[in-house]
Amino acid sequence: MTELTELTALQLVDGYRKGEFSPVDVARAALLRAEEIQPSVNAFVRLDGDGAIEQARESAERWRRGEPAGLVDGVPVTVKDILLMRGAPTLKGSNTVRADGSWDEDAPSVARLREHGAVFLGKTTTPEFGWKGVTDSPQSGVTRNPYDVSRTSGGSSGGSAAAVAMGAGPLSLGTDGGGSVRIPASFCGIFALKPTYGRVPLYPASAFGTLAHVGPMTRDAADAALMLDVISGADARDWSGLAPPDGSFTDTLDGGVRGLRIAYSPSLGGQVPVRPGVAAAVRRGVEGLASLGAYVEESDPDFTEPVEAFHTLWFSGAARVTQNLGPHQRELLDPGLREICGIGARYSALDYLAAVDVRMDLGRRMGRFHETYDLLVTPTLPITAFEAGVEVPKGSGHRRWTGWTPFTYPFNMTQQPAATVPVGMDGDGLPVGLQIVAARHRDDLVLRAAQALYEAGVAQVAPPPKRSAGGR
């Protein structure tokens, strides 16, 4: 019998509808799993068992009456500790954020999930202010990979990825400013979508500006579509949010890929050295798309790596986050964050606007690219998970996390929808992700292609080993 913690959100809702189990059963199972994995992977900064059980009881009563509140009534959800959640402090991985206060407001995405009856298990770990592609912070320590706890979960939504991979709730809310849902999802063997910018409202606005997206982290594409149907509603607090979508993302999942024009770029035109195990798994995924009727050809997007412009935007945002901190508080910061804040504070307005010019040109180039191709497919990352507790792999020669994430952050600059799909393992038994990118506003195409890979059995990895409380 499949354990309750192994079911997707859609399977849970179906089980509630049929009376096979209750939201209380599921909440208890998810909380137990969260407590079991916490000593080994450190996915949570806060669990709220009493609150989750109370929400689950209310959900069970609604299902008993045949009056569910919405699409995810009774489904356990976790929230990255960057996003506001009513009744819980949002510390953002930082010892400079005070825990006291009212904490009486939900972020838009959290509010929509609450309206639909979700059961909130707790808050997941993040690096300080979500600044890097791995998850460790002065406030919560190191988050580890479910497949090998000596390695990183990735970041900055690493706690969310580890929680979903290990069965502590099938849905999690993450944020992505340079790959932060896709990086950890790829390292942890789950699905994640960075929607088109503005598709999911964000409040408070990110100091990293319009690089920052909110997205679903889930077991598969179908659950992500369900979650996106919930969280993509408009919110007056987000001045840059998009109008609500015309229809349901779930309803468009089954369109398949037959006839779609797909560009496969294995290394961005030779700019990126990709590990052989990663390249082989991604190529098999691409071959799967071709076998399902897509027109696939190798073709590279027309840009050189825009890392300097991204750094200008990103480091400026970090400086903005911390600009009001005094000298004592700055000493509490992650040393790497403190370093980039110093760099960001020295940029001029002209430096920033020059980076915006690079961003606009990149967006124009990708807009033209998608006049020819419906989708772009790349590896999500050129590597698999490396040692935990460091920003870059030892011996890599990289200075910052952007050195090993060249496939992810460009599409934050262009605001395009991009997802990672697990397509196999490398020789060390670590998950490999395939990235699917579409033109702005075509989130439906990304989800359709991912769903086709799941239905064909191409998008799958072995589950991580079970871990009991107290041991690694």
Q: What is the pLDDT of residue 467?
A: 72
Fold entry, domain 4-307+349-456: Amidase signature (AS) enzymes (3.90.1300)
Q: What is the pLDDT of residues 206-220, one digit of tens each?
A: 999 999 999 999 999
Q: What is the pLDDT of residue 469?
A: 58
This prediction has a pTM of 0.98
Q: What is the pLDDT of residue 279?
A: 98
Q: What is the pLDDT of residue 234?
A: 87
Catalytic residue among 180, 206, 232, 265: 180
Beta strands in 146-291 (DSSP E): 148-152, 171-176, 191-194, 213-218, 261-264
Distance CA 376, CA 379 (A): 10
Q: What is the pLDDT of residue 471?
A: 52
Catalytic residue among 156, 172, 206, 316: 156
Give pLDDT < 50 ranges for the chain: none
Q: What is the pLDDT of residues 124-181, one digit of tens each?
A: 999 999 999 999 999 999 999 999 999 999 999 999 999 999 999 999 999 999 999 9
Active site residue 92: no
Residue 383, amino acid: I
Torsion of CA 216, 175, 285, 456, to 10 degrees: 0
Length of the chain: 472
What does DSSP assign to residue 172?
E
Q: What is the pLDDT of residue 449?
A: 98
Crossing angle for the helix pair 158-165 and 23-41, to the nearest 10 degrees: 120
Q: What is the pLDDT of residue 209?
A: 94
Catalytic residue among 80, 92, 123, 194: 80
Q: What is the pLDDT of residue 101?
A: 84
Angle at 395 between CA 389 and CA 400, to 5 degrees: 60
Q: What is the pLDDT of residue 225?
A: 98
Active site residue 194: no
Active site residue 466: no
Each domain of the chain, given as residue ranges in start order, spans 4-307+349-456
